[in-house]
Structure 1
């Protein structure tokens, strides 16, 4: 689709692009919406009813990946064999959370009906059809296909096989994907890269599950457990009693097994908890709107001693919490 010269360029908020029809005259919204969808998702055929006037797209880069949130009305998107690009171009896989609405995805001989909370995958290097027949919100990651490290056969078992929020892996992947997309553009680069790697590992776990390759002692099985534990830690950072013993007990594993899981993270369990607490404190202290006293910020994220917090914060960031706040305000 060639660009419509009447369509404005997308806005450029910090960290990404924002395309919205909210401020456009009614007669320009439909054309701008179609052009915005094509600009975001590439060579795909979009069918948008004439009465649909638009929506909002927020796209933020995460290294070589993109995090995309779309709020819109009815549409159908498909990639026919004619639209599949030559090998090496536009080779992206889309991991999508249906946050609101219903959908239908067809790819690789499967026809999946989707509801709120479902996570699903489609491969843009092969034909597919995705229909969204009512108002919807989706949160997506666009990953270069090579980052997954999956064979053609593995990918063919992964597409159009939704994970519901009531499945064990879905309960981990759905909130993790939503949080990653919502927070894109705000993470320190190291944290963003780690979270993306975790998504990739979870997709590998899903592929193993679909191909019956799972084993309790398999590396990917351990990786899935580690991700669940890290998500648990994030939910309980404010608890001063969060310790390796309580974490191990909550996941019905031994303390030795817990420490072994964290050997790949270049940190002990205790150091990981402290690092995550510091990152949350650092982010809150750097926000202009945050008027909370420094001691209150430290307490909010699980530090019981203001002196200890100041010492470890200076060790991590090279300045005191007050100097950090002053520098970023």
Structure 2
């Protein structure tokens, strides 16, 4: 993370973070120019060595003298400097699975936060530190566009809620809860993404429960 640039951290889930500042002079200019933040694999190779060094340094910090801490800092900087040039942006994307992995991350985020989060392309692109153009490019080879993916996520969440409530909540309430503009919007979205109306979804649930009870 380049702390000389403006950035935000979105703590939507529990986080545990250990930070080690590395002097700017020890980070290649070409790497800093490409992105505000960079991830490295900690499973193998030099990345694993660096991760182990950071973890052990953090745990042993209270027992270190100033000179020992300085030596560890120099070692971390040296490892970071050696790791950075070998991990270009394109290589990292390729190692991680590229666009498909990023798209799955976006969809996982939508599944968890679609009810409350701002799901506009601009807000989602900002959250994942990509451009709006890049966000839409991620879905060019996918079955659904980004907008359709958001709507399908809302439909699936609403359908799950509908089954859980079993008629205890009104359709109007569920439509407002899951971001549909009105009941007709809700019904059109259900038909498009599930092939059934909300009432048909409930009827199918009742039929499944009745069949299960007869079998039991």
Q: Give me the TM-score of the superposition, normalised by structure 2.
A: 0.48
Q: Say which structure is richer in helix.
A: 2
The structure whose RCO (Cα within 8 Å, separation 6+) is larger is: 2
Structure index of larger Rg: 2
Q: Give me the TM-score of the superposition, normalised by structure 1.
A: 0.33
Q: Say which structure is richer in strand.
A: 1
